[in-house]
Amino acid sequence: MSTTTIISKEKLKNVPLYLGEDIRPEMKEDIYDPTYQDAEGPPPKLEYVWRNIILMSLLHVGALYGITLIPSCKFYTCLFACVCYVISMEGIGAGAHRLWSHRTYKARLPLRLFLIFGNTMAFQNDVYEWARDHRAHHKFTETHADPHNSRRGFFFSHVGWLLVRKHPAVKEKGGKLDMSDLEAEKLVMFQRKYYKPGILLICFILPTLVPWYFWGETLKHGLYVATFLRYALTLNITWLVNSAAHLYGYRPYDKNIDPRENALVSVGTMGEGFHNYHHTFPFDYSASEYRWHINFTTFFIDCMAALGLAYDQKEVSKAAVLARIKRTGDGSHKSG
C-alpha cells in the first residue's frame, strides 16, 4: 500500500510546475495553495461597517462634484492631479504590490522613500496590511480566505469587501502568513505606526494646498479635483484588478484559475492587468510576460535599475512560460 498523499486529479492540475524553478527562494507566502478549500456550510452573515460605507459614499459624492469642476480648473491643477495619480499608482504597483507583497525586486532607500510616499498618497491601507491581504489573495485565491474573493461577485471584489467585516477565514489564514520580512523593514513599520497623520497630510492636505499655494487655484478646486476625484479614481482603477481582471479576459497561462488578462485594466493601473500571468507567476517583477507593453510600472522599475536604485529583478524564463502555456493555458496565447 502506498503512503503517498492522494490529491484529486482536479487539484493536481493546479499544482504549479515552477516550484522546482525557485527564482525567489526567500518568499513562498504568495504561492497558490490548491489544497486549501472552503469549509462546507452556509457563508456567515454580512456584518456592515457603517463608518466605511458613509465615508466611501461621501468620497464618491465629492469625486462626482469634482468632475463638474474640471472645466473651471486651472490647467496646472489638472496636470498636478494626473501627476498625483501616477505617483499613487506607483506607490501601489511598484511599491505595495511588486516590491513589498511579492518581493519581485529589491529597492534602495531613496526609491523606497518615494514608493512609501506614493503609497501613503494612495491611501489603500498601510503597506503591511495591504501585503498581508494580497498574499492571502494569491495563496487562497477564490476561497473565503481571499479577502476580495471574486466568486462573491463584481461588487464584493471591487469595493464591497472593504464595507463589511472580514470573513473569519481571512482572519484565520491571513493571520498565519509569514510577514517577518515586512516586520523587519523599518520604513514599512514607520508608515504603519504613523499611518493616520501620514494619510491626512499626504493624501488630503498636501494635494489640496499645493495648487492653491503655487498657482493660485481655489481651495475648492484643490479639494474636489486634485484630492477627492484623484483619490476616488486611483481607488476604483486599482480595484478593477480585483473585480474586472478576475472576471473578464483570456487565460492563456492557466485556465484552471479565475484571474484573466485584461488590457483595459493594464492601461488604468499602468501594468497590473496581465492578471492570469501574474497569478501564475507571482514572482515575476514585470507582472506580465512582456516587459514594457502597457506596463509603465515595469518601465519605471527598469529606469530605477538604470539609476542603481532597483536591482535583482526576478524574471521567469521564456521556456518555463511556454511550457506552462502548453500545459495549462486556454489556447488563446499566440504561441498556441
Residues that bind Zn ion (CB under 5 A): 259
CB of residue 314 vs Zn ion: minimum separation in angstroms? Answer: 13
Closest by Cα among 27, 255, 46, 29 to 152:
46
CB of residue 242 vs Zn ion: minimum separation in angstroms? Answer: 6
Instruction: Output 30 or 217, the one with its CB closest to Zn ion.
Output: 30
Instruction: Output 59 or 247, the one with its CB closest to Zn ion.
Output: 247
Instruction: Output 29 or 217, the one with its CB closest to Zn ion.
Output: 29
Instruction: Output 147 or 259, the one with its CB closest to Zn ion.
Output: 259
Instruction: Output 80 or 105, the one with its CB closest to Zn ion.
Output: 105
Neighbouring CB atoms inside 10 A of 308's CB total 10
Distance between CA atoms of 178 and 241, rounded to whole angstroms? 24
Instruction: Output 217 or 284, the one with its CB closest to Zn ion.
Output: 284
The cell for 48 is 456592515
Neighbouring CB atoms inside 10 A of 71's CB total 6
Distance between CA atoms of 77 and 157, rounded to whole angstroms? 32
CB of residue 49 vs Zn ion: minimum separation in angstroms? Answer: 23
Distance between CA atoms of 313 and 230, rounded to whole angstroms? 30
CB of residue 161 vs Zn ion: minimum separation in angstroms? Answer: 12
**DSSP string computed for 170-233:** HHHHHHTS--HHHHT-HHHHHHHHTHHHHHIIIIIIHHHHHHHHHH---HHHIIIIIIIIHHHH
The cell for 146 is 481571499
Instruction: Output 95 or 259, the one with its CB closest to Zn ion.
Output: 259
Distance between CA atoms of 66 and 232, rounded to whole angstroms? 10
Helix, strand, coil abundance in the chain, percent, nearest 5: 60, 5, 40
Instruction: Output 62 or 160, the one with its CB closest to Zn ion.
Output: 160
Instruction: Output 208 or 238, the one with its CB closest to Zn ion.
Output: 238
Cα–chain-centroid distance for residue 127?
A: 11
CB of residue 135 vs Zn ion: minimum separation in angstroms? Answer: 8
Distance between CA atoms of 290 and 287, rounded to whole angstroms? 9
Helical axes 230-242 vs 50-69, angle rounded to 10°: 120
Instruction: Return the DSSP state at 121.
Output: H
CB of residue 295 vs Zn ion: minimum separation in angstroms? Answer: 14
CB of residue 287 vs Zn ion: minimum separation in angstroms? Answer: 7
CB of residue 30 vs Zn ion: minimum separation in angstroms? Answer: 7
* SS3 state of residue 48: strand
The cell for 118 is 506614493
CB of residue 38 vs Zn ion: minimum separation in angstroms? Answer: 17
Instruction: Return the DSSP state at 250.
Output: B
Report the residue closest to Zn ion, judged by CB.
Answer: 259
